[in-house]
Amino acid sequence: MAFSGKVFERIRSRRTQLGLAIRVTVAATAAYAIATALHLLLPLWAVLTSLIVTQMSVGRSLKATRDYVLGTIGGAIYGGAIAILIPYSSEVGLLGLLVLSVAPLAFIAAINPSLSAATVTAVIVLLVPTMHHSDPMTSAIDRVSEVGVGAVTGLLVSFVVLPSRAVRQIRAVAAQLLELIADAFTELLAGLTRGRDNDALHRIQDGIGTAMVGMNAIGAEAERERAARLSSGPDTGPLLRTVLRLRHDVVMIGRATVVPLPVEVQMRLAAP
């Protein structure tokens, strides 16, 4: 019974990750079944798209779906236009079209990473016809259809199957971050009597900075859910700003504890 209880508690503490695993499994299975039923050329892309857009929270799934679909449509249009408007009759010609397709889209993706799917889509639209003996227009339509099936399936699964809201997640992350700040504060107070070198100070602060980045990302997802009216939780802005102020306080206290306090001050503060 004790062992079962420990296992249950371990699973319960990871229920968010377990929910994601279940959603991803359902999304992949459903995307393959739908793509097969619709007789799409490559059901693989529907499955892969469903895996990409099924994220930890609904807000993150919304962003992933938007970015991937926009990138796919843009890449399909550009790659299809290149293949149709510039015919080729040799491998060298195909190589030239590949360079012409990849270079501009890779440059755009470097500027705006949310459109990174465009480069992959353009390459697929350009090369798939050479393997399946189809025309570029059909290849572009097939690619958009496959991604559309995967994106819609993944998004619907994120809404229906054990949905995870970023508003709930940010509370748990904020609690963990406050615990890190409390532990760091205890360590910093101990340094008032002995001082601390900069390397040790940075080790204390590192985990807090990483946690802050994660909490800000989840806060953006929560606001995306609120904007889409998928969540009725409170505005996360005040929470993020308050925790950030505490983080700044810890940083300033850390700088002050590099050098120990004078002995006279330590004696006066010993009891408190």
- Do 9 and 59 belong together in one domain? yes
> Is 139 in the same domain as 197?
no
Report the distance separating Cα 72 and Cα 64, nearest Å: 12
Question: Which of 110, 134, 160 is the C-terminal boundary of a domain?
Answer: 160
* pLDDT (0 to 100) of residue 93: 83
Q: Are residues 109 and 192 in the same domain?
A: no
Distance CA 123, CA 101 (A): 7
**Per-residue pLDDT tens over the stretch 37-94:** 999 888 999 999 999 999 888 888 888 898 999 999 999 999 889 888 888 778 888 8
Choose one of 160, 180, 197: the last residue of a domain.
160
* Residue whose C-alpha is closest to residue 181's, from 210, 156, 159: 210
How much is the pLDDT for 127? Answer: 85
Residues 67 and 198 in one domain: no
Choose one of 140, 160, 180: the last residue of a domain.
160
* Mean pLDDT score across all residues of the chain: 85
Please check whether residues 127 and 104 belong to one and the same domain: yes
Specify whether 41 is located in the same domain as 66: yes
Range of the domain at 53: 2-160
**Tally of domains within the chain:** 2
- Tens of pLDDT, residue by residue over 98-149, are 999 999 999 999 999 888 999 999 998 888 877 766 778 888 888 899 999 9
Q: Is the same domain home to 147 and 35?
A: yes
Residues 176 and 259 in one domain: yes
170 and 110 assigned to the same domain: no
Instruction: Read off the tokens for 201.
Output: 């100070």
Same domain, 20 and 145: yes
Same structural domain for residues 254 and 173?
Answer: yes
**Are 78 and 192 members of one domain?**
no
